[in-house]
Structures are given as structure tokens and as C-alpha cells.
Amino acid sequence: MPVFEMPLEQLWEYTGCSPKPADFDQYWEQALAENAAVGLDYTTTPAAFQAPGVECFDLWFTGVRGAKIHCLFLKPAEVKEKIPGVVAFHGYMHHGGEWFERLPYVYRGMAVLVMECRGQGGLSEDAYSGAGPTVFGHVVRGVRDEDPHKLYYRDVYLDAAQTVRILMSMEFVDEDRVAVTGKSQGGGLALAAAALVPKVKLCAPLYPFLCDFQRVLDMDLNKGAYEGFYWLFKKCDPTHRSHDRYMERLGYIDIQNHTPNVKAKVLWQTGLMDDQCPPSAQFAAYNKLSAEKKIILYPDHTHELIYFANDEIFRFFLEI
């Protein structure tokens, strides 16, 4: 283990140090009711990219607060019976990526839907409106608003759940055979989606982001994707008077508080040298999973490309 992290034997027992709001379940029941009211309507147009035997579309739907969400949608050109589906989520500030990288799943007979997060690197709109600083970082957006439902990631999690439900609603997709995956932010969103949509069959997160925020701060890792914490406190609350209130509020989007609700079978992968999404923060979420699960550890890898990790995910999804 790296010097900045606790020993591996402690990681297997660690269950986090960030709070869980007392009304966590009610909060998400209300959020999901708002999401359900939006509906599952969507539109598609043929994409510029096409491949033999595959149909590729730009798919759009309306998320909460009226945001227009864009997805990459791929399916086999010929579908004779109901097929499984995969929903993929991208990393922080990125976009849906290349169509090419999704083709193996389609050639295996699966439909694929790749959600682009509102206000990040793709085409989805940012409909955010809430009090507080937006100096840097999405994680802390909304933490100072009087309304706890103004958290940026609350809406992104609902978009993720809606994306899964849209794929499940397609007449040629078997709603009981849908998997979710993603790395970093995408891994966190895959777990959130699996928690909010219990029918998800398989979940394959790769070094997920958005876990155990207090642990990240305790380790002085408020940099990179977590840099919003640094600027929030330094510029807006230099004595940390509101620290506990902010941590309590962020408990609504802390993945470790969502993983107990995951019913899907989980294949988790991470590098033990990760200094952006530290292993202990991830284990806080992993250890709270009650569903069937497996974690593959890569001792020498940090928050980076892990060779053969995609092979593991592909093999895992063949189970569906």
C-alpha cells in the first residue's frame, strides 16, 4: 500500500467517516418522484458515425429542471428478439467518447446507451440554478443553497437513473438484462444508477469517484476533481464554520450511502495507488454493498488507464 493509505487489512473493514443524512431515503423518494413526473420520452436522429451491422443515433431526453440530455445510442441493425442492454457513463468533465469503443457490445448483440453529463464536456445542457459559488468543481455545487435538492449531482444521478429506464423501456430490450458501467465519475454514476433502479442486473464500476468525501479531505486530497472543496473553504468559509453542515448535505450524493441499495451483481476494479479517488474512500462504499460482489485490485496503478480492465468488464457482461 502507498504511504498515504491505510493497510489493506484495514481497508476490508473500513466503512467510511462521512455522514448519512437522517432523511436520506425520504430525500431520494422525493427526487425519484420528481424524475418520474418528467417521463421517459426521447427522440433519436441518425448519428454521423455508422458501422456495418450497427445503427448509431444521437438520443435526447428531458431531465429534471428541463435540462436536455444527450446520449450516444447504438444497437444491432437487425433485432429478432429482446436483447440485453448496457448503459455507460463517462469520467469527470469528459463526454461520451468514441462510438468505436462501444462496438464490441453491439456486435455481441447488445444495445448501448452512453449518457453525457449535463454541463460537462458533451452536448447535454447545464440547467443548474442554485445559490453559492461556482468557482471550481461540480461536487460542491448547491451545497450552500437553502434547498438541499439543489445539489448538482442530485440531478446528474437522476439523469443516470432516467437513462437506464429509457433503455429498459425500449421494446426490443430485455429490461431484466441491463448492465451499467463507467470509470471514475462514470463508476460513481453506475453505482448510483444501480441503487436508484434496482432492476439493474450487473454493475461494473472502475475506480469510482464521489465516495466518502470526509475521508478525501482528511487525506488532503482536495485537488483535481475534488478541488472544489479547497476553493469552497479557502474563499468562502476559511475557518470551516460550516464544515459539518456541508458534509451532512453532501451525504445525499455520497456513493457510500447509496451502495446498500444496490441489488445488481457488482464487479469493482481499482488501483491501490490511486491518489485521486483513494482506495479507502472506495472501500467505504464497496464494504456497504450487500449484493453479490467482487473487487479486483491493481497494486501498482493509480487513477489511470488499467490494461485489461475493460476485458474483465466485457467478460463480466457476457453473463447477462
Kindly report the backbone phi and psi dihedral angles of residue 129, in degrees, each rounded to the nearest multiple of 5, phi listed first. -145, 115
Active site residue 169: no
Distance of CA 92 to the CA centre of its chain: 10
Active site residue 184: yes
Instruction: Give me the catalytic one of 138, 274, 280, 301.
Output: 274
Dist CA 182 CA 90 (whole Å)? 6
Active site residue 25: no
Q: Retrieve residue 223's grid coordinates.
A: 485537488
Closest CA to 302 of 282, 272, 269: 272
Q: In what order do the strands lie in the sheet with 68-76?
A: 42-46, 54-62, 68-76, 111-115, 83-89, 173-183, 202-206, 265-271, 293-298
* Cβ-contact 114, 96 below 8 angstroms: yes
Provide the Cα torsion 202, 259, 306, 84; round to 10°: 20
Owner of C-alpha cell 493497510: 7
Taking phi over 0 as left and psi of -120 to 50 as alpha, with beta for the rest, 240 belongs to left
Beta bridge partners of 308: none
Instruction: Give me the catalytic one of 70, 184, 212, 280.
Output: 184
Dist CA 101 CA 107 (whole Å)? 11
Catalytic residue numbers, as ranges = 184, 274, 303
